[in-house]
């Protein structure tokens, strides 16, 4: 739905883990749900510190730039560092979310990355990536 080697912001590996149908608009929520439906463990993703497939349906994406660009880029870089990955890495979605789960979510490091985000109260339950 977002082309080959789908672009994904690293911090969206956390957002998608807890997505429960809420979002910035109905279109955004629908798009995110559809994305979760089509992603498989084998889907190739390109990690990008910039707008991605999730952002493509977001009202906060203005001309290809997030209105909170600096803040969310910080989230992305923190996830990359914790996961031992680099910007523009291409890897299977399953491998990416395994790292997010094992290196960020399971050890309880998520609040150090995105604490204070408006959606944070939704991100305390069971991660979608838990085995």
The residues that touch ligand SF4, with contacts defined as CB under 6 A, are: 24, 51, 54-55, 58, 60-61, 66, 68, 72
Q: From 130, 16, 10, select the one nearest 81 (Cα to Cα).
A: 10
Largest CA distance in the chain: 38
- For the chain, the first-to-last Cα distance in angstroms comes to 26
Q: How far is the CB of 72 from ligand SF4 (least distance, A)?
A: 4
- Closest to ligand SF4 by CB, 24 or 94: 24
Q: How far is the CB of 3 from ligand SF4 (least distance, A)?
A: 17
- Closest to ligand SF4 by CB, 15 or 82: 15
Do 14 and 21 touch, CB atoms closer than 8 A?
no
Q: How far is the CB of 131 from ligand SF4 (least distance, A)?
A: 27
Do 105 and 126 touch, CB atoms closer than 8 A?
no
- Closest to ligand SF4 by CB, 51 or 101: 51
Q: How far is the CB of 60 from ligand SF4 (least distance, A)?
A: 4
- Closest to ligand SF4 by CB, 71 or 86: 71
Burial of 129 (0-12, 13-18, 19+ CB in 10 A): buried
């Amino acid at each position: 739905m977002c082309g080959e080697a789908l672009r994904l912001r690293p911090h969206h590996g956390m957002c998608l883990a807890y997505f429960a149908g809420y979002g910035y608009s109905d279109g955004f929520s629908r798009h995110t749900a559809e994305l979760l439906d089509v992603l498989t463990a084998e889907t190739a993703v390109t990690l990008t510190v910039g707008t991605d497939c999730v952002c493509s349906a977001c009202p906060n994406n203005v001309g290809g730039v997030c209105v909170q660009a600096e803040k969310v880029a910080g989230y992305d870089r923190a996830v990359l560092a914790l996961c031992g990955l680099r910007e523009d890495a291409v890897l299977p979605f399953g491998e990416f979310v395994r790292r997010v789960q094992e290196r960020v979510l399971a050890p309880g490091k998520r609040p150090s990355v995105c604490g204070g985000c408006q959606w944070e109260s939704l991100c305390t339950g069971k991660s979608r990536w838990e085995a």
